[in-house]
Amino acid sequence: MTVLRRAQPLLGTLVEIGVPLGALDMGVAHQAIADTFAVVAQVQRAMSRFDPDSDVSRFHRASVGQPLAINRHTREVLGLAAQLHAQTGGLFDVALGTGRWDLDANGYWVKLDEGVSIDLGGIAKGYAVDVAIGALADRLVPVAWVNAGGDLRVRGMALPVDLRDEAAGGVRRWGDVKDAALATSYFGPDARSVLHGSGKSLHVTVAAPACAQADALTKVVALAGLEKSTPWLDFFQAQAWVHA
């Protein structure tokens, strides 16, 4: 079967969209992929720490107690982040211990402490993958995958997945992902992601129905360990693996 694959640099990585054509018209597939990349770019603009006009940057400039109107994507990510923060006793923390924030009853984002600093990188990439899969479905693409630097979601098919061997190099076959999401994160002194307050090096994979939850739970498992994370994994119908 012919597979249409396109990639763009977004979300601090390379985002790839794959669409097996089957009976799908090539022109329809091309347009659906282009529209989906535009949606992912919207998510990036809303939550990037490096875009001065993003909701995160505006929050950092806001005064304590000032209600801030935000994009619906940011509001959904913050809602999930707040849920995970409460469930894990503060272990998952997009503020990294710098202070408190809240979403008020009207959906406004409110800074509660001066100096609070937000980084949504531990959850927003997975959320963007979910949004991308949803955008493809809305455009009548029944089978597809979206991969954003290790955050993967597959719809309508089984996709073989290889994992990078961080210790020895190369890749090794891990398994197949079908109608589910998979997030893999490597934490260590030589990695882009580090475990705050820990010198540990870990390679964690989480499978879940949605990629935002899988993305966030890799951090939870890395910090808490598999055994302690079991109730949180069960709540989100997720499974986790810690690789050597």
Question: In terms of Cα–Cα distance, which of 67, 69, 42, 47 is closest to 57?
Answer: 47
Distance (Å, whole) CA 148 – CA 169:
20
Distance (Å, whole) CA 236 – CA 238:
5
Amino acid making up residue 166 = E
Q: Tell me, rounded to whole angstroms, the distance of Cα 19 from its chain centroid.
A: 20
Confidence (pLDDT) at 201: 72
Distance (Å, whole) CA 5 – CA 33:
9
Q: For residue 162, what are the β-bridge partners?
A: 173
Residue in this structure with the two tokens 């993958």, named with its chain if needed: 129
Distance (Å, whole) CA 68 – CA 112:
12
Is residue 184 within 8 Å of 219, Cβ to Cβ?
no
**Axis crossing angle, helix 26-47 with helix 124-138, rounded to the nearest 10:** 150
Q: What is the pLDDT along the chain (244 residues), one digit of tens a residue?
A: 689 999 999 999 999 999 999 878 899 999 999 999 999 999 999 999 999 999 999 999 999 999 999 999 999 999 999 999 999 999 999 999 999 999 999 999 999 999 999 999 989 999 999 999 999 999 999 999 999 998 999 999 999 988 766 556 666 677 789 999 999 988 765 544 545 445 567 889 999 999 999 999 999 999 999 999 999 999 999 999 997 5
Confidence (pLDDT) at 169: 60
Residue 152 dihedral angles phi and psi, to the nearest 5°: -130, 140
Distance (Å, whole) CA 56 – CA 118:
7
pTM: 0.91
Is residue 240 within 8 Å of 213, Cβ to Cβ?
no
Domain boundaries, the chain: 51-111
